[in-house]
Amino acid sequence: MHKTLLTFLGKGRDSAKTGYRVANYRFPDGLTRQSAFFGLALAEVVKPDLLVMLGTTGSMWGVLVEHVAVEGEDEALRLELMEAEYAGQVDQPLLDRVAPLLRRAAGIEVLPRLIPSGRSAQEQVEMLSTIASSVPKSTQLQIDVTHGFRHLGMVGLLSAELLQRLRAQTEVHAVWYGALDMTQDQLTPVLALDGLQSVQRWVSALDRFDASNDYGVFAPLLEADGLPRDKAQCLVDAAFFENMSNVADAARRINTVLSALDAPLRGPSELFRQTLRKRLEWARKNDLGEQQRLLALRALDRGDLLRAAIFGLESLITRLCQEQGKDPLDYQQREQADVVFQQELKAGAHPDWKRYAYWNLKNLRNAMAHGTSPEIRFVQELLRNPQRLREELRSALSRLSQP
C-alpha cells in the first residue's frame, strides 16, 4: 500500500546551522537515528513513498535546506530561501522551486506545503484543507507531531481523524512524537501515540453509535483489544437484525457480547467497557416488549422518530400477545392480537387515554412509514411540528406502557 509521512516544520533555533538540536532518536524497536530534524530521521525508518512537509511563512525552510543540501548546490535559490525565511515571507511558489532539492536529499518524493499559523478559525480550517489536499486519497498515513507550534500537534491528530472520515481508503497507521524533553543518557525516546489515537477512535465510535445505533462501529476496536472475532461479529449481526426490527435476534447477539464484557479488556477499550455495557444493557431484559420499548425511547432521544413509533407500537402489540396467550414472534398471531385490541377499544373496554394514545401512535407510524399525508388533521399538525411530534410520541410511549 502507498505510504505517506506527514511532518511539521517549526521556527525554534537551538543552533544557527541545524536549527533544532541534534538528537539521537531511539525508536520503540530499539533502532536509533541521529538528526536535528526528527521528520527526516522518521522518514529513514518508516520509508514512505511521499514525505509531506508543512510549515508557515517563517518556519525553518532555509535552515532545513542548508542542513540537507550538498555544498554549493543551488546556492542562489538557497540564499533566496534563507532571506525569505528571515523576513517571514516564504511563499508556496518558492517552496515549489525548492522541492526538487529536498527530493534529491531525501531520496523520495517530498511535498513542501505552506500553511497559516492558525490564529483564527478560518486559518485553522485552511490548515486542515491544505493537509487534506496534500495527502493522496488512498494511502497508509503516518504523522509526526514533534516540531512546529505546540498547537500543531492537535492539528495533526485532528487531521488524522478528518482524513479517515473523509476517505474510506486512507488509514492512519501511526502518530509519532520525538520526546526531546525526555532525553536521558543522550538518547531521545520516540513515542508512538497509538493509545491516544485509539481513544480518539473510541470517542468517534460512541458519537457515531449515539447517532445511528449501529453496534458494528465497536467491533474492530474491541477485536483489536482482545475480544474474540466471533464475539465482535455479533455486534455487526445485532445491528443488522435491529435494522430489520428483529429485536429478539439482536438481543441474543448482544447478550453474547455482554457476557464477554463482564471481564476487563486490554488497551483503550477498557476505558470504555462500562460505557458500552450501559448502551447494550437493554438486551438483558427478558421481556421482548420491554426491549422494544427501550429501543423506542432510545430512537426518540436520537431523533429517529419513525423508528421510535415503530418500536413503540410493536412493544404494545408484544404485550397484547402475552396478555392474550399468543406467540409474539408469530406474525399472524401479532396481527390477531392487534385486531382484538382495536375491537376492545371500539367497544369501550379501555379508557379514553389509552384509545387516544394507541390511535395517535398508529396513525403517526403509518404516516411516517409510508410518507403520506394522514387524513386526521391533528396528526397532520403533529407532522409539521417537530417539537410537538416528539412530545406526543413520548407521551404515547409512556401511556401505552401502563397496564
Name the band, by pLDDT with cuts 50, 70 and 90, for residue 150. low
Q: Which three cell numbers stand for residue 303?
A: 431523533
Into how many domains does the chain fold? 3
- Is residue 290, in this structure, part of any structural domain at all? no
Answer yes or no: do 329 and 376 share one domain: yes
Residues 30 and 178 in one domain: yes
pLDDT at 18 over 80: no
What integer pLDDT is reported at residue 285 of this predicted model? Answer: 94
Strand, coil or helix: what is 15? Answer: strand
Split at pLDDT 50, 70, 90, the class of 333 is very high
- The answer on 14 and 106 residing in a single domain is yes
User: Do 108 and 163 lie in a common domain?
Assistant: yes
Pair (111, 215) in one structural domain? no
Q: Supply the range of the domain harboring residue 241.
A: 204-284
Which tens digits make up the pLDDT trace of 319-331?
999 999 999 999 9
Asked if the model's pLDDT at residue 151 lies above 60, the reply is no
In the listed set 164, 192, 220, which residue is the last one of a domain according to the structure? 192
Output the pTM of the full model.
0.74
Confirm whether 10 is domain-assigned. Answer: yes
Residue 256 shares a structural domain with residue 323: no
Pair 38, 150 in one domain: yes
Mean pLDDT for the chain overall: 88
Tell me, yes or no, whether 352 lies in a domain: yes
Same domain, 64 and 209: no
Taking residues 272-281, what's their average pLDDT?
94
Q: Is 289 within a domain? A: no
One domain for residues 179 and 221: no
Nine cell digits for residue 201 = 477512535
Name the H helices within 261-375: 269-280, 288-301, 305-324, 331-346, 352-370
How far is residue 375's CA from residue 392's CA, in Å, rounded to a whole number? 18
- Per-residue pLDDT of 83-132, as tens digits, reads 998 888 999 999 999 999 899 888 899 999 998 877 787 887 788 788 88
What pLDDT sits at residue 118? 73
Q: How confident is the model at residue 173 (pLDDT cuts 50, 70, 90)?
A: confident
Are 303 and 280 contained in the same domain?
no
Distance CA 289, CA 328 (A): 9
